Structure 1
């Protein structure tokens, strides 16, 4: 009798286990390779997929969506069975039937149901920023830009698109006027009479009927909080504006009057105002002219006789200012416009002795702020910064311009900036013409850079650096080199569209490089005292020729050790001790022996990588025991093993157990490897054009969820990434591959991309990525290359791009690639896949006059359906 009870109990327990397994072990999807059209291949990423998985599809009808979401019914009689093409435990690949109409598609896998091509709002921002606005805020009467995926599927759908605001409290939905719409962004009108309040924002792309509405996105409508509007006309303070009289004192008095008023409008009527010296723009002050062709501020343009002729900066500020509708012309200056926010970045300060002069200007002008500085608006302003008038004469290296700015042949720390902004929120630069050596608008939160031109006709180096979080970059012209920059703030939520890149001269010829080398850990609280040093390496010790350090001043500091060999290997280490002349670092992967190296000091702590001991709900316990409390607020990405590709935020820490902002979709286990860092990505690069550059948007480092769609390049080496999770290249056009020589980077953290004898689209893997962790992991996961056109020497590549390259020791570099419906013409090679690639699907690719269409160096788990 007892045995019978035990047997029944065992059977019950076993059946219960199977029930739980069927519920929680069924397939789960957390990423989809969308947007997709009929006949396109699709990648679903998640976990728990079975090799014999059944897939059912629906073409969701385009009924009237009304103004409320109704879930799709998934009626069995209307479904279509589709056979998977490639299945692994973590992904499944299949093809949308060609007979389906374009639109939203329903998917069912083991009773797990969801929609493809449904709109997804990722962030939003007013088209014109006003003082006091914060993230996800707009105001009555504004035009709101909505950024996300599947906003519009085809241009023909624009007339059917709908956007509504639903009050969080009681109230009827408000249908918004759609002013403009395209694939990843739309602009809508917020009614002038809409009362401030909290709303849910929803988008419908014209497909899917009531089931086609996006998930609700929180939006707050706030009342405008304008600055003081009292006008201070510079002519009332004695200015003439005739280009002859010195109007410096009049301008200074007008600015001081605005400062005493708590802000205001300093008005510069049409005319040319001769000024000299530096001017402080007080908080809540608008410096406004009658148009940049009519109101000119002009500094002396004589040839400089001594260093004293150079002003430290023409304008300086501390946030909360605006420049509009005027032109600035200046020759003898070290900078033109510097905000105190830029000084938070130690690299901007550099080692320049001129720093003391700039500090003296800000003394007493920068009041302590309760919040981070914000509200900077530069609209319709021309800055002509011409320090290099004329021609260099004899004894160039002893000339004054060489001493101060090296005639533009080298970049001097903290010098040569037309604009220098950093660590600001709510920033707009629009309609401007910026001429000069360098432009910097970095570490911005909620920023807009639109309809500007950045260039340098003086023939020397030109560099434009931008960066931040929720950054809208559209309709600009960038001449010569440009890049995204990040030291104090990760790069994420970027929209980069309809920009032009051309006129590349000296430098590395990169167009808006997207450099994420060295994942960002927690920002260091104490400022850095050094940026880069040259040392001799022996074992785990580095020595200097002179006593340049303070004993134990660098203990705990993260450094990058970069070898001087042709391989340019780098290694991340922590300082465990230092004397005045020597640094001792922790041990890890072997370092180069007895050679000269460059040491670069990181402004953040090294990201933690750890295995998982156990995980349940929002709790995850790590095998690592000594966990820093600084992990709270950081992000956790599963980079390998079960659940790979999922991203969460850490909300609490108890010993070695983490609390997350939400449970994992797929619970990690002992096979899972977690990276704790500040994630970067969620970027969209849409319909940009470039010519004669080395690379457009070269992406290095571990980016997450990035789309390159509809970009066009000509006479370049292509569009590439070194690694990343869920990177998509769609509908890009690469025409005429041209090879350019490698240029040594000025920034050691910037990836040095070797010169290729072909043009490339895809992943040009950087072997140094494997030095980031002692535990190997796949540096590429979920790569999509679809409907691209490559001609005259361009090819798709996933690999090292060199027969002579030293292949990394780890066996597996990339997983889950889809290379679908690309057109190749007039080239030696079409598609090249290197070793260490698994779960790749090649389908529907077309080759015309290509000598070797496909080259696969290690055909394991790779399917070719061409």
Structure 2
């Protein structure tokens, strides 16, 4: 079944301006008969796209300015879903595959500058000397989008900055995402401009990759210091340690060198401290073993500051803190290599008793949430290649890596172990295996933790991730909560940005250079810049370059950590909670050719992560979900079991009018056996997701093909195929219609719509709702069923409560009656009985008790708690009390105790409509001291809980009290 469907909203269209259109970003790679997505500004109300085919082949000079080709056939294309800030257009199916040039033309005959599709977009260049550096005879990588292709004859041209020397290089390996080149040995040292041509586009196909520095690698002394010559035996004797240390000191005194280990086993009983420019080298990995005996006082096994290396060695250890560690976070950190190193380090070896295992585990967690590090490095020019690394905690920790090459390794995560790339700036991570070696192992990711303000330029290619069952089971996630500012701009002039009045939170980072300023909505939306400096008062921000379209008073900006330009190519994921997850800020990432088996799937998400964080310009191409079922996955293990998915989330939060996920592409993906595509934007009023292409995807053997909620606009569906799918599309309108039918049924009901008598035992961790509307409860904590006012009642211990999901917000009722029998253990303080919330947020009702009084609380649509009402002290401790509240939106609130009206008030504001779960026995604040940070969870018995979707009359409330048989005694059980 093929579907061609359009979702669009009038809110996408804004008034035209007299300014010429500007393009910020266009999606590629893209093929004939596929849809391109373009973001920018001032597109007007009825723009068109002009497209020119460019010739194949390498022509012209790279330094020629980009211009609109004259004399070539121009195709005029009517876009779909055009707005002032974005449009989509279908590339004609009869154009020649290759590179094309396009521009946007408005009704006013204003045209944008030309932009290209399928020409190289270079993210970064990296070589054997690190980021933007290579040596004569060394290697060079060019990484980005459309930088090459195996079936075209692309080239890289180096032009010396003096313009007198030009060198043309042919890639040895080429793909859409990466070029591999060898630098000729005779290339002179100096700064060279790098230009890239992928073989398509003729004279218009050149793209700049910036400058690189070519020069010789730093020469380290190569004098050999054989540890046998210094007393080491290689027989595993105590003499080995002293001999190794003597050799290390001799190498240090000599200014560096190679500390050499002939075949044998070497006993080490302390930290091996490696001086600068010293290499530990074994005769062969399989022939040389360094081992550390078990100890109750663990320490780092091999440690250096910077400029050191290990190769051809096997390391064995029991108790330790870190295995191999350099300095991290220092200006001099870096210049470390590990080649052909094997590690077998388990702090749980031998006949440990359970309490000993527990003590070692707790000690390891003092080092990090994943224990000690097998490899712990930081800084510039890092290399880990052809290693086999098995440890008890985190397998790899890189802090602020700059130009790191991590390839062909086998990494094992230990107990709660994960890998961490914090604050990256140029990392190639390819052909590795990351394996969970413990039942509690998890995955890892790329992040801005440990004080990083930004992370960028990361290639994950052809890696395998498997067996991740601990923690949140994230095989690859991005991470970096918080931010510095959200709000409007007072002034934008060149590189200077003056923030409007509003809170700032610069203190969470020492250095904000490289962090992002993002225009989420209003004038200039879709642009981002990096921070160069922040004034001492925190109100003026200097950015790296001026805005193309400056923000104005309508613009909404957010300042948070930057994460951009990640590529995830041809990786395999198996048995994880999520394969690839962009959790918050994610700009211009591509995931292509990846597979997931029982691994959750792939998605990007803009969200509130303790601050507003956007996800823009993310593409998912040619990925495959082989087995869609997944178990205990998602953030905080929120999903017990469910389908894997491909998705875009804009998890909108009240107070923000702008989309959080913008311009996403999902194309040519294949989802098998229970998987689906899911778009989540939350709010119909302020959609969290805007502008998505769903094209040429195949979904088969699933319950649902596409799930698109009401908070998504500008979703373009085209040529998707559904095979053996029960429900191909579940969109926001369908979901709204279903919800309205359910709501109508609830509002017409005269009996309770939620009812818990507690007379039937729970089924596992669940209690069934007896109203017939299936608002079943999950038991949180330990709940006892004991003799009640009638039959059985629930005993709450101050920790336990019942959680009832209400994702559709059906129980936000314009008229409501809430009633329950309660027997409180104590009256002093504030204690929750029934509420439509599970956190300290605005909500449409809370029924609680406070200091012997009955309390009703509810916020109105403005966020003011104008419905709050408290009775006089009417409750009795250790005695059954019947309490009830009725609320009619915009009119009246009444409170009852034991069938008697005890308080009432008039109200005139509409209730808030915030979607919240229902809870019984929970309250977000309170306790004996009624503290804002205290738990107000109920202590005592609750019975006969009921909610009606109408206002019961005083006589009906009196009847509830009078009709309940009293089977409970007056003393507490």
TM-score, normalising length from structure 1?
0.75
User: Could you say what secondary structure the match of 2:443 adopts?
Assistant: strand
* Conserved 8 A contact 1:405-1:412: no
1: distance between equivalents of 2:573 and 2:369?
A: 29
Tell me, in whole angstroms, the C-alpha distance in 2 between the residues paired with 1:73 and 1:783: 28
In the TM superposition, residue 617 of structure 1 has moved relative to its aligned partner by: 4.0
- 1:754 pairs with 596, 616, 639, which one? 639
**Other-structure match for 1:535:** none
Tell whether the 8 Å contact from 1:517 to 1:751 is kept in structure 2 after alignment.
no
Distance 1:756 1:840, change over 3 A: farther
In structure 2, how many angstroms separate the alpha carbons of the residues matched to 1:516 and 1:697?
A: 15
Residue of structure 1 in register with 2:289 after alignment: 296
Measured after TM superposition, the shift of residue 491 of structure 1 is: 2.4
Consecutive unaligned residues in structure 1, runs of 5 or more: 1-20, 345-368, 520-606, 744-749, 801-806, 861-866
* 1:485-507 per-position Cα deviation (integer Å, ceiling 9, x unaligned): 42222322111111001133444
Q: Deviations over 1:306-350 (max 9, x none)?
A: 72xx44121122122111111111123333223332xx6xxxxxx
Residue in structure 2 matched with residue 706 of structure 1 by the alignment? 589
Query: Partner of 2:214 in structure 1?
Result: 221
Aligned partners of 1:138, 1:777: CA distance in 2, in Å?
A: 43
The residue that corresponds to 1:487 in the other structure is 450
Structure 2: how far apart are the matches of 1:22 and 1:810?
A: 23
Q: Which of 336, 339, 345 is residue 379 of structure 1 equivalent to?
A: 339
Task: Give secondary structure in 1 for the equivalent of 2:632.
Answer: coil
Matched, 1:259 2:252: yes
Aligned pair in 2 of structure 1 residues 752, 765: CA closer, same or farther (>3 Å)?
Answer: farther
1:788 pairs with 2:679 = no
Three-state SS of the structure 2 residue aligned to 1:141 is coil
Tell me which of 77, 85, 90 is aligned to 2:80: 85
Q: How does 1:27-46 map to 2 (within 5 A)?
A: 27-46=21-40
CA change 1:417–1:614 in 2 (3 A) is closer
Distance 1:847 1:735, change over 3 A: same
Residues 434-833 of structure 1: matches in 2 within 5 Å? 434-437=389-392, 438-443=394-399, 444-455=401-412, 460-467=415-422, 468-480=424-436, 481-484=442-445, 485=447, 486-489=449-452, 490-519=454-483, 607-624=484-501, 634-651=515-532, 656=539, 658-723=541-606, 724-742=615-633, 753-764=638-649, 766=651, 770=653, 774-799=655-680, 807=682, 811-833=686-708
Of stretches 70-79 and 289-298 in structure 1, the one that deviates more from structure 2 is 70-79
User: Structure 2 vs 1, CA of residues 415 and 73 (structure 1 numbering), >3 Å: closer, same or farther?
Assistant: closer
How far did residue 619 of structure 1 move? 4.2
Report the 3-state secondary structure (helix = DSSP H, G, I; strand = E; otherwise coil) of the residue aligned with 2:89: strand
**Cα offsets for 1:87-131 (capped at 9, x unmatched):** 0110010011111121101112223222111112211112x45xx
Q: Secondary structure of 2:590's partner?
A: strand
Over 3 Å counting, the alpha-carbon distance change for 1:657 and 1:243 in structure 2 is closer
CA–CA distance in structure 2, aligned partners of residues 684 and 671 of structure 1: 33
CA distance in 1, matches of 2:319, 2:407: 28
Q: Residue 596 of structure 1 aligns with which residue?
A: none
> Hey, what's the Cα distance between the residues in 2 that align with 1:215 and 1:221?
17
Q: Is the 8 A contact 1:67 1:173 kept in 2?
A: no
State the 1:281 CA deviation.
1.0
The 3 A distance-change label for structure 1 pair 667 and 439 is: same
Q: 1:313 and 1:631 mapped to 2: Cα distance?
A: 32
CA RMSD of aligned residues (A): 2.8
Q: 1:84 to 1:170 in 2, by over 3 A?
A: closer
Query: Which runs of at least 4 in structure 1 moved beyond 6 Å after TM superposition?
Result: 21-24, 625-633
Q: Aligned partners of 1:103 and 1:760: how far apart in 2?
A: 31
- Structure 1 residues 144 and 757 mapped into 2: Cα distance closer, same or farther (>3 Å)? same
- Tell me if structure 1 keeps the 8 A contact 2:476–2:580: yes
- The answer to whether the Cα contact below 8 Å between 2:23 and 2:39 also exists between their aligned partners in 1 is yes
Closer, same or farther: CA 24–419 of 1 in aligned 2, 3 Å:
farther
The 3 A distance-change label for structure 1 pair 722 and 109 is closer
1:653-707, Cα deviation, whole Å (9 max, x unpaired):
6785554332222222211011223311211111100112121122211211111
Tell me what 1:138 maps to.
134
Residue correspondence of structure 1 range 75-474 to structure 2 within 5 A: 75=70, 78-110=73-105, 111-112=111-112, 113-126=114-127, 128-129=128-129, 135-152=131-148, 154-157=149-152, 160-244=153-237, 246-300=239-293, 307=296, 310-341=297-328, 371-390=331-350, 392-393=352-353, 396-397=354-355, 399=356, 401-405=357-361, 413=368, 416-437=371-392, 438-443=394-399, 444-455=401-412, 460-467=415-422, 468-474=424-430
Are residues 392 and 234 of structure 1, via their aligned partners in 2, closer, same or farther at CA, if it must alter by over 3 Å? closer
Q: Distance in 2 between matches of 1:751 and 1:414?
A: 15
Q: Contact 2:649/2:688 (CA < 8 Å) preserved in 1?
A: no
Distance 1:706 1:382, change over 3 A: same
Q: Distance in 1 between matches of 2:344 and 2:72?
A: 68
Shift of 1:416: 4.5
Is the Cα–Cα contact under 8 Å of residues 482 and 560 in structure 2 kept in the other structure?
A: no
In structure 2, the CA distance between the partners of 1:439 and 1:92, relative to structure 1 (3 Å rule), is same
Q: Give yes or no for contact 2:16–2:42 (8 Å, CA) kept in 1.
A: no
**CA–CA distance in structure 2, aligned partners of residues 820 and 794 of structure 1:** 16
SS state of the match for residue 287, structure 1?
A: strand
Change (3 A) 1:449 1:491: same
**Structure 2 unaligned runs (5+)?**
1-14, 106-110, 437-441, 607-614, 736-973
1:695-723 alpha-carbon deviations (Å, 9 max, x no partner): 11222112111111111111222112332
- 1:616–1:418 CA distance, 2 compared to 1 (3 A): closer
SS in 2 for 1:403: helix
For these two proteins, the number of residue pairs brought into alignment is: 689
Distance 1:827 1:116, change over 3 A: same
1:814, CA displacement in angstroms? 1.1
Q: How far does residue 461 in structure 1 lie from its aligned partner after superposition?
A: 4.1
2:55 aligned to which of 35, 54, 61: 61
- C-alpha distance 413-732 of structure 1, shift in aligned 2 (>3 A): closer
Q: TM-score, normalised by structure 2?
A: 0.67
Measured at CA, do residues 256 and 412 of structure 1 come closer, stay the same or move farther in structure 2, by a change above 3 Å?
closer
Tell me if structure 1 keeps the 8 A contact 2:597–2:627: yes
For residues 319 and 659 of structure 1, the distance between their equivalents in structure 2, rounded to whole angstroms, comes to: 33
* Residues 63 and 208, structure 1, Cα contact 8 Å, conserved in 2: yes
CA deviations over 1:823-844 (Å, ceiling 9, x no partner) = 1111111111111211221111
- Cα 1:340–1:64, aligned 2, differ >3 Å: closer, same or farther? closer
Distance 2:163 2:70 in 1: 33
Distance 2:723 2:210 in 1: 46
Residue 375 of structure 1: how far off its partner (Å):
0.9
